């Protein structure tokens, strides 16, 4: 079996990059063998790429539930652990409990959303990666892996679509 | 009617507004915009350093040394005393929390509403949130006096076998303010990551290391953008009720007490709108200052943005006036003897000038000026109006707290509050806010370039009949 090689093709505009993705697919490059790197968020609809699943909403929901449980602990748990009896008032009261539950639920939701972005994106990650600084200057890069015998054919195709450069992918410190 | 999209370069209709006046319709290559923002961060004139050193000296004397003196000598060196145990420290706490509301309002609410004018100045507003909350925290610690016992506020089973009582509004305050501080800091950081990566790619030396660490290895892959956008959307929705809750709970610190002038059912929304009033005015001031003092910022921040902020200031001012009158009328109509005395004291007492000043700054000035487009688009005018609104809102908090505490249901305790060391400490916190903002402006890209480029990609001109109208595509 021939060797798989990875390249980084750089485009100036979105349209040729999208066309290149379609043509790469025609050349047998599967969607999981491609990645688009860009300086602005380009949705899967724009790129014609499969939708990327994000765990962030589920983690956020989990965090909200955990936060609410902590709120219940603060409002009801500690008042029973360390009871402070005030004449005529219950240990756990409705309105103050709502305030605590709201704040702790929201804190749990937001903190776990933040952590969720880190987990899903595997941040922080300071290892060398395939990247070109031009991307943050507005270029769109397609990182693709292809069999060795198709390299020149694909390169010609990408050049015909207006690729600014096609370079063997090299991991480098960011 | 058939509408066809036309390229932006086509000449606009004679007599109509020049589309290039709008940032979103006047795009530049991304690399050039990146360069402009980096240039703005790197260019520091001698004036910057003179101001920074001056502010540093104020922080040293008015904040650090004065606070040290307060800690060493105790709260006796402050003006707080019976009956006004809450003085300027809490005025400043409420004021700075109010300032912090603007960041979230401008950024999150306008993001949710897809208000396009927000794009170039969301970060400038978000920074105000975090830095404003730091000043609010300082003010609370000053008010405590014995700051080394601040940990008593934390929920832990201490030697008194008594946890802080979460049934108290002050306990809710602790949780709400800390929730908001953490949430707003995270909300500041998430959209900053791509800009930090951009700065990393264009930096050398210590700045490269700094941005490399903070950008967390961000490249801009499809997955990274998806997770980031998802996170930002959740934040934008969820942080809005948190923002509302914070100042509502601050209001409950007052409203839950059965004191004349404080016991009001609308204090929550009244405080929230007051916070937005001062916060948005402060954003207007900061935006004008950034535009005037930082290189290349005239490209990003244009009269259209000042105009939009001016309109917001006017609308919020109207809502504030509505709530103020609502609160005033009901208290006046209630006929409670001490409340009547308090209202009379506000208007005719020794601090009456402040009460009228509050109304002039918060109502008369915005109403009489901000309806005018030319005034809204004039940086100096907008800055001045923003400054006056902030003075008015500070007056409002001063009237609500120490002035209102003067009149209570025990006339033998009535005594007007005179601040002492609090004045120095207030100047110190203000200087510290400006100083850390100035330093941050040289370290953090103040304009979210990727958001601006995204907006420019979404905007275009569409020909409708003989007119060319601005259109926005839903690309998010």
Q: What is the pLDDT of residues A124-167, one digit of tens each?
A: 999 999 999 999 999 999 999 999 889 999 999 999 999 999 99
Nearest CA in chain A to B170: A96
Instruction: For chain B, say whether A50 makes contact (Cβ under 8 Å).
Output: no
Identify whether B457 is part of a domain.
yes
Cross-chain residue pair A100–B175, CB shorter than 8 Å: yes
For chain B, state the CA radius of gyration. Answer: 24
Residue B234 lies in a domain: yes
Report the alpha-carbon distance of residue B256 to residue B334 in Å, rounded.
18
Q: How far is A17 from chain B (nearest CA, A)?
A: 14
How many domains in chain B? 1
Look at residue B97 in the predicted model and tell me its pLDDT.
93
Provide the chain B residues 180-199 that lie in CB contact (below 8 A) with chain A. Answer: 182-183, 186-187, 189-190, 193-194, 197-198
pLDDT digits (tens, 9 = 90+) for A51-83: 999 999 999 999 999 999 999 998 888 888 877
Say yes or no for a CB contact (<8 Å) between B219 and A129. yes
CA distance B173 to chain A (A): 10
Whether A2 and chain B come into contact, CB under 8 Å, resolves to no
The answer to whether B177 contacts chain A (CB < 8 Å) is: no
Q: Tally Cβ neighbours within 10 Å of residue A2.
A: 10
Distance from CA of B234 to the nearest CA of A (A): 7
CATH number of the domain to which B389 belongs: 1.20.1630.10
Handedness of CA A76, A78, A82, A84 (dihedral sign): negative
Q: Does B212 reside within a domain? A: yes
Q: pLDDT tens digit string along B220-248?
A: 999 999 999 999 999 999 999 999 999 99
Q: By the 8 A CB rule, do B268 and B248 touch?
A: yes
* pLDDT tens-digit readout, A11-57: 999 999 999 999 999 988 999 999 999 999 999 999 999 999 999 99
Coil vs helix vs strand at B36: helix
Residues in B touching A110 (Cβ below 8 Å):
179, 182-183, 186-187, 234-235, 238-239, 242
Q: How far apart, in whole angstroms, are the C-alpha atoms of residue A104 and residue A110?
A: 10
pTM over 0.90: yes
Rg of chain A (C-alpha set): 26
Residue B102 covered by a domain:
yes
Task: Give the sign of the dihedral formed by CA A82, CA A85, CA A91, CA A96.
Answer: negative
Report if residue B8 sits inside a domain: no
Q: How far is A165 from chain B (nearest CA, A)?
A: 17
Does the CB of A168 have a partner CB in chain B at under 8 Å?
no
The total number of residues shown for chain B amounts to 476
Spatial separation of the C-alpha atoms in residues A116 and A114, rounded to whole Å: 5
In a domain, B5, yes or no: no
Listed as ranges, residues in chain B with pLDDT below 70 are 1-17, 19, 155-165, 476
Are the C-beta atoms of B415 and B82 separated by less than 8 Å?
Answer: yes
| Positive or negative torsion for Cα A75, A76, A82, A83 | positive
Ramachandran category for residue B287: left, alpha or beta (phi over 0 → left; psi -120 to 50 → alpha): alpha
Copy the structure tokens of residue B179.
């929730």
Is B217 in contact with A104 (Cβ distance < 8 A)?
Answer: no
Q: Cα separation of B172 and B181, whole Å? A: 14
Nearest by CB: B241 against A106, A114, A123: A106
Nearest-Cα distance to chain B for A170, in Å, is 14
Region A113-126: mean pLDDT is 95
Alpha-carbon dihedral sign for residues A10, A14, A18, A19: negative
Confidence (pLDDT) at B163: 64
**B164 occurs within a structural domain:** yes
| Interfacial B residues in 113-172 facing A (CB < 8 Å) | 155, 157, 161-163, 165-167, 172
In a domain, B237, yes or no: yes
- Tell me, what's the pLDDT at B385? 98
Q: Does B47 touch chain A (CB under 8 A)?
A: no
Q: Which structural domain, as residue segments, surrounds residue B66?
A: 27-472
């Amino acid at each position: 079996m021939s060797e798989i090689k990875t390249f980084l093709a750089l485009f100036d505009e979105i349209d040729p990059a999208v066309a290149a993705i379609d043509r790469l697919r025609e050349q047998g490059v599967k969607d999981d063998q491609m990645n688009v790197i860009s300086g602005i968020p380009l949705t899967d609809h724009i790129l014609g790429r499969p939708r990327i699943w994000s765990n962030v909403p589920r983690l956020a929901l989990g965090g909200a539930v955990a936060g609410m449980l902590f709120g219940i602990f603060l409002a009801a748990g500690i008042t029973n652990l360390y009871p402070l009896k005030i004449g005529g008032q219950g240990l756990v009261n409705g309105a103050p409990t709502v305030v605590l539950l709201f704040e702790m639920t929201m804190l749990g939701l937001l903190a776990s959303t933040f952590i969720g972005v880190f987990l899903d994106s595997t941040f922080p990650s300071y290892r060398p990666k395939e990247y070109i600084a031009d991307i943050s200057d507005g270029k769109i890069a397609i990182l693709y892996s292809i069999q060795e015998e198709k390299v020149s054919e694909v390169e010609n195709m990408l050049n015909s679509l207006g690729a600014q450069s096609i370079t063997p992918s090299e991991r480098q410190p960011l | 009617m058939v509408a066809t999209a036309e390229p932006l370069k086509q000449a606009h209709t004679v007599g109509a507004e020049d589309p290039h006046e709008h940032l979103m319709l006047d795009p530049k290559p991304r690399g050039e915009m990146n360069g402009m923002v980096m240039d703005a961060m790197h260019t520091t004139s001698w004036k910057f350093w003179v101001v920074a050193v001056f502010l540093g000296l104020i922080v040293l004397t008015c904040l650090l040394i004065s606070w040290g003196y307060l800690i060493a000598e105790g709260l006796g060196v402050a003006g707080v005393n019976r009956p006004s145990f809450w003085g300027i420290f809490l005025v400043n706490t409420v004021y700075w929390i109010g300032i912090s509301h603007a960041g979230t309002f401008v950024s999150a609410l306008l993001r949710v509403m897809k208000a396009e004018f927000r794009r170039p100045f969301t970060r400038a507003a978000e920074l105000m949130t975090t830095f404003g909350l730091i000043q609010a925290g300082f003010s609370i610690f000053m008010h405590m006096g014995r700051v080394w016992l601040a940990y008593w506020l934390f929920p832990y089973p201490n030697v008194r076998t008594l946890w802080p009582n979460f049934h108290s509004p002050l306990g809710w305050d602790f949780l709400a303010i800390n929730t908001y501080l953490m949430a707003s800091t995270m909300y500041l950081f998430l959209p900053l990551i791509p800009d930090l990566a951009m700065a990393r790619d264009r930096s050398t030396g210590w700045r490269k290391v700094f941005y490399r660490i903070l950008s967390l290895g961000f490249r801009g892959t499809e997955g990274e953008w998806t997770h980031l956008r998802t996170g930002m959307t959740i934040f934008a929705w969820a942080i809005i009720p948190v923002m509302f809750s914070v100042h509502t709970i601050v209001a409950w610190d007052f409203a839950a007490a059965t004191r004349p002038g404080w016991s009001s059912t609308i204090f929550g929304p009244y405080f929230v709108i007051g916070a937005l009033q001062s916060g948005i005015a402060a954003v207007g001031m900061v935006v004008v200052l950034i535009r005037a003092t930082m290189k290349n910022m005239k490209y990003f921040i244009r009269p259209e943005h000042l105009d939009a902020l001016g309109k917001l200031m006017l609308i919020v001012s109207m809502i504030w006036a509505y709530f103020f009158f609502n609160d005033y009328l009901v208290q006046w109509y209630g006929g409670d003897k001490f409340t009547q005395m308090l209202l009379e004291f506000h208007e005719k007492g020794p601090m009456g000038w402040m009460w009228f000043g509050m109304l002039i700054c918060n109502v008369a000035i915005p109403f009489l000026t901000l309806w005018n487009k030319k005034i809204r688009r004039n940086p100096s005018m907008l800055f001045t109006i923003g400054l006056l609104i902030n003075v008015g809102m500070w007056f409002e908090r001063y009237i609500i707290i120490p002035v209102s505490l003067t009149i209570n249901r025990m006339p033998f305790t009535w005594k007007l509050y005179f601040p002492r060391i609090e004045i120095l400490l207030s100047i110190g916190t203000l200087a510290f806010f400006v100083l850390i903002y100035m330093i941050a402006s040289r370290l953090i890209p103040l304009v979210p370039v990727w958001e601006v480029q995204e907006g420019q990609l979404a905007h275009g001109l569409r020909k409708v009949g003989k007119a060319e109208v601005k259109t926005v595509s839903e690309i998010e």
